[in-house]
Structure 1
Amino acid sequence: MGLLAGKTVLVTGASAGIGRAAAIGAARAGADVAINYLDDDDAAESCIAAIEAEGRRGIAIRGDVAEPETATHFVAAAAAALGKVDVLVNNAGICPFHAFLDMPIDTFERTMRVNLHGAYYMVQAAANRMVEQGHGGAIVAVSSISALVGGEYQTHYTPTKAGVHSLMQSAAIALGRHSIRCNSVLPGTILTDINKDDLADPAKRMHMEQRVPLGRLGQPEDLAGPIIFLASDMARYVTGAALLVDGGAFVNLQ
């Protein structure tokens, strides 16, 4: 039996990257999975095919997390198709790298709406469904090492990830009485579409790799295990926590 056997897991931003790895990993751990995605139908279908290849049910629901109605629709449609909501993995996020002094307002506001507002809407919608169901649940948010450290070209992004981390802490207090646990994972540099252009320079990539004690940058699959652990009953007394998944980069000051 897998760690998530009998559970239904919802994952936002799951057509690629960390979200896709978490969704497929959840299916491998025994869960039925609903994924949210923005616009890549082929990638979403591929993710569902991988979920079904694990012998689990999957459904893909398109929507922009920046819009409040996307959250309510995603949760309702997932519950209707799969019967319930046990776990939400809030993963959807963007990071269009840009300098601070001439940051376009649209870039700043879009990043805020997707990463922070979208997280709030999704967590609230899933929590309301879990409260109605009456048997608790787990929420895992994908924050970032950027919640703890700065980035010259991420002045719009790092505040959103700090906000997601803080949201989980406060939601853990608000939802504990309903047996809903809220935790976050803080990835380091993970090789995804978000940073592929930033790391296209071989010298920069080598520098980043050399700063990681484990000697490599992360893969999306490196997040699946920590997310599944926090979503599972093995973490039944863990809430309000943040788990760094960064190969040791944060502690490598010297």
Structure 2
Amino acid sequence: MALLAGKIVCITGSSRGIGRACALESAKHGATGLLLHYYGDEETEAELQTLKAEVERSHSQCRVVCVSGDIADPATSTKVVESGVREFGRIDVLVSNAGICPFAEFITMPHALWERTRAVNLDGTFYIVQAVANQMKAQVPQGGAIVGVASISALVGGEFQCHYTPTKAGILSLMQSCAIALGKYNIRCNAVLPGTIATDINKEDLANDEKREYTIKRTVLGRLGAPDDIAGPMVFLASDLAKYVTGASLLVDGGLFVNLQ
């Protein structure tokens, strides 16, 4: 069942992890265009090119357009939307995924680390959501679906995430408020809240065998999440199966949050 047939899907932070999985799943579900944002250094450039080649090899109906830039800079969001409109004429789905989590102790955390984490995670989400929402409002037929990638960290704390958890709570709140602000334009806004997903963002943290085993034991399904565990729920929220769902948050954590003991 092609849940995103004919859709143009924009994904930020798409070169690896959850963003990459969302791109592949969107193409699998019939998207005809992928507008893929990535940071633009040598490493993410190489990763993005392999993703582009994989999509075009496996899903011939899907054309891929790549746009680089620092999502913390509002000019990047403008460039992303302009590229999407120029190449595809419209944007139907936004997955705001770009984010960082450099683990650090609160007491000694440099203010620059707080500022950079906030700028990428929260400011960057605001900029791209606002830019794409303006396009969705203007296009015919009007509307679209926006999915903000928040985190289980929007609901709970973390000793070395005092700079990160507030940004993810902010993304959740942003999606709730944008659902109200944008509903009149037929734009749905929802948040997906991943639990512990094995990606580059937490690779060093999970390299600690004791921490890794503890996390797995706390998770009801008995394993860490994989990026494609998030891609499926994203497709659902972006698709017409969720046409009456807006302002919602979907926790995708293998049962980590509910497991008190």
* TM-score bin (small chain): over 0.9
**How far apart, in 2, do the equivalents of 1:183 and 1:109 lie?**
25
Partner of 1:129: 135
**How far apart, in 2, do the equivalents of 1:241 and 1:197 lie?**
31
Q: How does 1:3-152 map to 2 (within 5 A)?
A: 3-31=3-31, 32-38=33-39, 39=41, 40-53=44-57, 54-55=59-60, 56-134=62-140, 135-152=142-159
Q: How many residues align?
A: 254
**How far apart, in 1, do the equivalents of 2:168 and 2:129 lie?**
15
- Give the superposed CA RMSD: 0.7
* Residue-by-residue CA offset, 1:200-231 (whole Å, 9 max, x unaligned): 01111011100000000000010110000000
TM-score normalised by the chain length of structure 1: 0.99
Partner of 1:158: 165
| 8 Å contact kept, 1:33–1:51 | no
Q: Counterpart of 1:181 in structure 2: which amino acid?
A: R
Q: Counterpart of 2:97 in structure 1: which amino acid?
A: N
Q: Pick the aligned partner of 1:181 from 178, 188, 192.
A: 188
Q: Counterpart of 2:110 in structure 1: which amino acid?
A: P
**How far apart, in 1, do the equivalents of 2:158 and 2:78 lie?**
33
Shift of 1:145: 0.1
Shift of 1:83: 2.3
Q: Pick the aligned partner of 1:241 from 217, 224, 248.
A: 248
Partner of 1:251: 258
Q: Which runs of 5+ in 2 are unaligned?
A: none
* Residue-by-residue CA offset, 1:149-191 (whole Å, 9 max, x unaligned): 0000000000000000000000000000000000000000000
* Residue-by-residue CA offset, 1:32-81 (whole Å, 9 max, x unaligned): 21110002111011111122121211111101000001001101102211
- Off by >6 Å, runs of 4+ in structure 1: none
**How far apart, in 2, do the equivalents of 1:51 and 1:230 lie?**
21
TM-score normalised by the chain length of structure 2: 0.96
Q: Which runs of 5+ in 1 are unaligned?
A: none
**How far apart, in 1, do the equivalents of 2:55 and 2:170 lie?**
31
Say which SS state the counterpart of residue 228 (structure 1) adopts: helix
